[in-house]
Chain A
Amino acid sequence: MKKTIKITWISVVLVLMGGIHSCTDLDETVYDTIPADQFGQKPAEINAIIAPIYKTLKNLWPGNFFLLSEQTGDMAITPTRVGGDWWDGGIHMDLKLHTWEARNGLINDSWNAAMSGITTSNQIYATIENAEMDLELKERTLAEIRGIRAFWYYMLIDYFGNAPLVADYTSTDLPTMSSRQQLYDFVVSELNEIKDLLRDDVTSESYGKFTQGAAYTLLAKIYLNAETWAGTPNWEGVIEATDKVMSLDYIIEPNWKTNFEVHNEVSREIILPIAFGKADEGNHLHKRTLHYLDPIALGINVGTWNGVSAQPNYVKQFDDADPRKEGSFLMGPMIDPATGNVLITAHARPLIHTVDFNIIPGTIKEGMWGEVNQEEGARANKWVFEKGLANSDQENDFAIFRLADVYLMKAEALLRLGQNNAEATRLINVIRQRGFGNNSHNYTTATLDDLYLERRLELAWENTNRQDMIRFGRFLNPGYLRPSTSPVHLLLFPIPEAAWETNNNLVQNPGYPAF
């Protein structure tokens, strides 16, 4: 009897003691996400971890930087439509009229896109550095990450000039500003260090990655703008870099449209793409540019937003014989396939995409900016609309860098140096002939102006407009709806106010009101 009582008590105490821990146990079992220390050792997992750096590129185009580039130049415009669509407090007007300020939402989003790209690269670099993997693969992977990071710094140099330089994920200090020159030197040194560690093949395995071709093209871009960004030109550097790219397996695709097809991942002209898919965050330029009723005429099923169009003078510089004109711009009447008649808009007007805009009297907001009718403006037609598209983004990839641009860069460098005009003309003619489809429009001797024109004919909508205009000294000139010259400080965008609010170390760019 006594023994059983004793045993009972001991077991009760033991149970209680064992239970005591569980009665205050608050450990979490994580189900649908992975604690950071349990992931990232196997090769497939490592590939999946690197992927987000390429995803940051999606913030480049067709939002954010696309608008900052094409709309501040003379290529594109998002006008305010009758009734007020796209007025949005004037952010698009400010880009066209050069009246933007530090609170502009598009500038803020672009800055954040770049910063997010840099921080993601830093974080993943720190993870891969500590990962256990094949040494050669590790070196190449780390080089890829640095390449993407260098690309985002290139964007910052071009648009904002001055920005914080952060290359280390573990530091938690609030970063301070670095100058344009410092960022320039950093990018050059980074690219030179990694360029030979990257893969140089042009295959479906290398597509979408930061390859040797991408590194050299980026280097060429940096050197091309050396005069604007670092004070001293470096045209020779451009020639050296572009020669290296042209020695790789990239080709000028015989069909210009191959670069813009739905499945343009087969193009071997594309050097660095934003690889869009339908699943998450694809190519949504069709939504930005098409009128609400255009899908009926084009055979796609998508709700569109009737926004961005081309500026009239840009369209008019195209020769009517140039297939690239219609290949870039959607113009003219939009026909309903069921009836054969022109579609009618909500304002009882025929849906004809005119090239010109007519500012409706009495609707002036500021300066010469006023409301226009819904249907006016040539729309973006470059990336092929996928027939039968069902309510999604498109998967046409966007070529950040492609070989045609490389050709034109080399031609420009040669022309600037006054060297080898024959080679420069040949390069321009390759592009021109491919664009026109015949050689009747080739140049015998090309000039810098011809080169400038060819860039604009070839690269409409492709994020080169502002950079080219600045380099050629035309950005500040009066333009469409903007009758006077712009002040010099507008060559740089202001540091966004929201960025300074979280980091008081940032200093505003010259010419803008200080923080």
Chain B
Amino acid sequence: MDRKMTIFWKGMLSLSLWILSLGVFAQAITVRGTVKDVNGEPLAGVTVLVQGTTTGTVTDIDGNFVLEGVAAGITLDISYVGMQGQVIPVNGRTTINVVLMDETELLDELVVVGYGEQRRREITGSVTNVTAGNFNQGVTRDAADLLQGKVAGLDISTPSGDVTEGSRIRLRGVSTLQNDQGPFIVIDGVPGGDLQTVAPQDIESISVLKDASSAAIYGSRSAGGVILITTKRGSGLKPRISYDGYLAVSTLANKPDLLTANEWRDYARETGKDTSVYDKYGASTDWFDEIIREGISQNHSLSLSGGGSNNNYRASFNYLDREGVVNDNYLERYNFRFQLQQRAINDRLRIGLTGSAAIGEWNEADNYNFVLAYNMLPVYPVKLENGEWFDTREYDQGNPVRNQTYNKNLKKNVHYYGSGDILFNIMDGLDIKTMLYKERQTEERSQYNHSETQAGRDDGGYALRENKIWDKNLMEWLLDYTTTFGSAGKHRLNALAGYSWEENEYSYTKAANRNFTTDLLGADNLESGQGLRPNDVGSERNMSRLISFFGRAHYSYESRYMLTATLRRDGSSKFGDNNKWGTFPSISVAWGISEEEFLKDIKCINDLKLRVGYGITGNQAGLDPYKTLQLYGTSGTYYDNGSWLTAYKISQNANPDLKWEETAMFNVGLDFYLFNERLNGTLEWYDKRTTDMLYTYRVPTPPYLHPDMMANVGDMKNTGVELALNFNAIQTRNFNWSTSVTLAHNKNEVTSLSDDTYTTSRIMVGDAWVRGGSGRTTHVIEEGYPVGQFYGPEFVRIDNDGKYVFRNKDGEEVNSVTAEDYTYIGSAQPDLTFGWNNQFNYKNWDLSFFFRGSLGNDVLNMGRMTYGHPGYLIGANALDDPLVHQLKVVPEYSSLYVEDASHIRLDNMSLGYTFNTKGIDWLERARVYATGQNLFVITGYKGLDPEVDANRNNGLAPGVEDREYYPKSRTFSLGVSLTF
């Protein structure tokens, strides 16, 4: 009996001890602690969660946290943005102090490269990545506006103040003479996209593939570099709703200084001319003011994102309404986008669907109204006293306000696409992916010139309707294999193989009519016109196809020695029969110097990488479909027995040898991250050689039917240096200052224009047309000189007779020169382009300002040449310029008008305040901001703006401010962004 009781009591003791121990662990305790960073600074806002529950707290401003009533056996999950998280079992402790380490996030950042992603550490080519936080703010139309000045060597210029006109993008100089389209655009992996289809608010990051070794995988379209745009994706972590909206006001930044009414009267008095014929209205009109307004713009952007463990989605809507400063110029655009991704079969299958639609409407400015505004006398009124419009039939004169009020040139554009992609993980490390893509863009134009306005009076009213459709079908297959081998996974290998099939079709119709009895119908009832001509009705259609095979292999040893090789074979239906397929290889190596033993201990160097790459890329933007064939096309009409019939003629000289242009680039780069990544940057040098440049060469007739022939003949060279530096100068708890600079210098030279069959030593291009001065060219394309080389007479001074004095080839001063005396009088190519950004953060405030500019480029001031002389005074107006009093001859192109357009521009200044939303659980982020764009320009250039259209004349005669230039505007915007 005693033995039984002992066993019982022993059992009871164990049981109670066990129950007691349970109690101990189940006992509610209070855990306290402080979270600090490596510098000993307390961290506020650190999330401290009880793992497996939703209980948790956040550290306060001193880094302290308190968790009350928690079990002693819990584990704490500590996380903070930009830091490496920690998981700490409490084990009954009541005080836990934590030190969080910085995440070396920049180096481990995933960067989008061609057909995939790579860690920044591993990249062997020249890739610059810009994320949403660094984009330009304010009124932005498309991705190009976000990037302006941010990437060294990527030159994005705004051609004019027209809000419907896109930016001109050039990477590392001009490398073609024909239809330079700039870099190749890839949107979410789909090649050949249009920047207009992506609202800026939807963009997550933009990668620019600058050298051939990174771009060559895109083959025959990548010679101008590649811009990869990645849109925002939903994440499965937290559902989110974002709203971003702004309101902006634009005003004209710079107006030409024309004679005012009184200045004109003074001039007429000085020269003794009779003004009674003109000055009978008692008016004083500033014609530029009359055609200009304040443009009000607004933008609203709404996005939803979220997901679960198996899927994620994002949908967004964006509305942009942008008014230009010219009365009838505006752009209105709706963007819709949705993306969803779902995983299945144990996460091995991933299917994604994307749809996007951009619906836009815009009215381009009729630039001829600027010519009218320049010429119309300031003593003419806009309207007569009885309310009728004032008008005149004089040459280059008419009422521009009347034009703007009654005429329209409206374009409606719908651009939509859908794509589906399937990714299947066949086995460990091996993925197969296919993408199918369908895109259609339609553009409808409706133009009407009212019969009483200057633009429509000769036709008695002119109406035009045009319709364009672009269709693209794309199919892509990819096989992606990644593996590591060797001890501790030191060797890493990634291989990619792909196939792509793309077909493009374009179709166009037009119908026009003129001589309408009434203007009320506009262009909406073409039948009612009475002046139909045979060529008022037309249609066109063409197609082209591109088929590619490509592959890449990337090998890395410990992120210390890395090698990437790519190969692409492109076949295009646009190439001639003799050259249908082209091959584009590339290879690049990188040496992670900082991973070496001798540098591993040097703490201040986080990463030092040397990269060398070489590759061959191509360009086929200069080729239209069917260019290589012998074809019959219509050739006007002919008279036959009382009627007019259509004539047909061989429409071009056929060239079966036509092919792509080839650009080989050699690139050396050094990436460095120093002082805990506070100072980082890249220094690069490149040498870019373009061969087989397309150009239209003169051929003799006979024996050729047409006097020109497009052929691959010339060579061009671009060499340059780029530096991008980023310095986080001050980083304290309350105040941050970071500054970044990009500098680029590119030297462009045409190295050859001839081969055995086609020879030309020099091509005169550009048009220096002024009234009475037709037939003069402004630029020359010549071996040994850059594109954009101005060529003409060297100006010395204006003599007492009001004549130009030039220097002839013997150095003498003469009044008139011939073509033999012309010389090289300037270059549109800059010596240096730069951007400088500063970002300040003080508590919840942020301030940034951004300068960009260029040095050493020249611009031909055609506005001054055309309107800065007294030849047509007093019947037409002129600039208030000393030349008006000095010059007595017809204006002539010379170095007088080629001015230095070096400039620095405060392009963007932004002040923002982020509200403290920690107390509000339903609001994640709220920020208000004010932005000013194009605030001021410092330059010696006398014209309207030193940055002009680089695409003028197909890019062959850049650096010219035309006589009908649309001046740029200054914009102020106020915006708010909220995230729920």
Contact = CB atoms under 8 A, between A and B. Distances in A.
A and B from one complex: yes
Interface of A: 23-36, 39-40, 45, 47-49, 51-52, 54-55, 80-89, 91, 103, 105, 112, 115-116, 118-120, 122-123, 164, 166, 169, 171-175, 204-205, 207-208, 265, 275, 277-281, 292-293, 295-296, 301-303, 306, 344-348, 362-363, 365-366, 390-392, 498-499, 501-503
B248 to A, nearest CB: 39
Contacts of A265: 639, 642
Interface in B625-668: 625-626, 629-633, 635-642, 644-651
A54 B632 CA distance: 17
Contacts of B547: 23-26
A392 to B, nearest CB: 8
B888 A362 contact: yes
B640 A208 contact: yes
A497 to B, nearest CB: 10
Contacts of A118: 701-702
B452 to A, nearest CB: 12
Contact of A31 (B273, B543, B645): B543
Given A83-B771, A87-B890, A275-B639, A26 B648 contact: no
B773 A88 contact: yes
Q: Name which of B540, B633, B647, B872 has the most chain A CB atoms within 10 A of its CB.
A: B647
Contacts of A280: 534-535, 636-637
Contact of B626 (A33, A169, A275): A33
B278 A26 contact: no
Contacts of B871: 82-84
Nearest to A391: B458
Interface in B684-708: 698-705, 707
A205 B646 CA distance: 17
B551 interface: no
A54 B637 CA distance: 10
A388 to B, nearest CB: 9
Contacts of A366: 816
Contacts of B640: 47, 51, 208
Given A30-B629, A36-B631, A362-B888, 11 more contacts: A25-B545, A26-B573, A51-B638, A51-B648, A55-B636, A85-B772, A87-B890, A301-B459, A363-B889, A366-B816, A392-B533
27 contacts: A30-B626, A30-B631, A31-B542, A33-B626, A33-B633, A47-B640, A47-B645, A49-B632, A49-B648, A52-B647, A52-B649, A55-B638, A88-B773, A105-B775, A115-B701, A119-B703, A166-B702, A171-B702, A171-B703, A172-B703, A265-B642, A280-B535, A301-B458, A345-B875, A346-B397, A348-B278, A498-B698
Nearest to A48: B648
Interface string B495-511: 00001010000010000
A34 B632 contact: yes
A502 B888 contact: no
A290 to B, nearest CB: 12
B967 interface: no
Contacts of B535: 279-280
A28 B539 CA distance: 19
Contacts of A174: 700, 703
A175 B647 contact: no
Interface in B502-539: 507, 514-515, 531, 533-535, 539
Given A30-B626, A54-B638, A48 B707 contact: no
A33 B891 CA distance: 44
Given A49-B648, A302-B458, A390-B459, A26 B571 contact: yes
Contacts of B889: 84, 363
A23 B499 contact: yes
Given A31-B541, A34-B632, A51-B645, A85 B771 contact: yes
A84 B704 CA distance: 38
A486 B632 CA distance: 47
A293 to B, nearest CB: 6
B774 to A, nearest CB: 5
A84 B625 contact: no
A174 B702 CA distance: 8
Contacts, number: 241
A499 B533 contact: no
B674 interface: no
Contact of A28 (B273, B462, B543, B698): B543
A281 B636 contact: yes
B819 interface: yes
Given A36-B650, A48-B646, A52-B647, A208 B891 contact: no
Nearest to B475: A23
Contacts of B801: 362
B501 A23 contact: yes
Contacts of A501: 698, 760
B393 A295 contact: yes
A275 B641 CA distance: 11
A55 B890 contact: no
B423 to A, nearest CB: 21
Q: Which 6 A-B pairs have the closest CB atoms?
A: A84-B772, A346-B875, A84-B890, A51-B647, A51-B638, A391-B458
Contact of A279 (B636, B701, B874): B636
Q: Name which of B633, B639, B699, B773 has the most chain A CB atoms within 10 A of its CB.
A: B639
Interface string B401-417: 00000000000000000
A120 B645 CA distance: 19
A347 B876 CA distance: 9
Given A119-B702, A301-B460, A344-B277, A86 B645 contact: no
B905 interface: no
Interface in B729-784: 760, 770-776
Contacts of A52: 635, 638, 647-649
Interface in B431-489: 457-460, 462
A348 B891 contact: no
B395 interface: yes
B639 A207 contact: yes
A275 B394 CA distance: 32
A38 to B, nearest CB: 8
B701 A36 contact: no
Contact of B639 (A82, A115, A277, A296): A277
A275 B640 CA distance: 9
Nearest to B535: A279
Interface string B866-886: 000001101110000000000
A169 B703 contact: yes
Contacts of A39: 632, 648
B875 A301 contact: no
A84 B573 contact: no
B544 interface: yes
B572 interface: yes
Contact of B703 (A36, A166, A295, A296): A166
B647 A89 contact: no
Interface string B269-299: 0000111011000000000000000000000
A293 B641 contact: no
Contacts of A503: 700
Contacts of B572: 26
Contacts of B636: 55, 279-281
A204 to B, nearest CB: 5
A345 B649 CA distance: 44
Contacts of A365: 816
Given A31-B543, A32-B541, A112-B701, A86 B646 contact: no
Given A32-B539, A84-B773, A348-B278, A502 B635 contact: no
A89 B646 contact: no
Nearest to B544: A28
Nearest to B770: A84
A292 B394 contact: yes
Nearest to A88: B774
Contacts of A47: 640, 645
A281 B638 CA distance: 11
Contacts of A89: 773-776
Contacts of B635: 51-52, 55
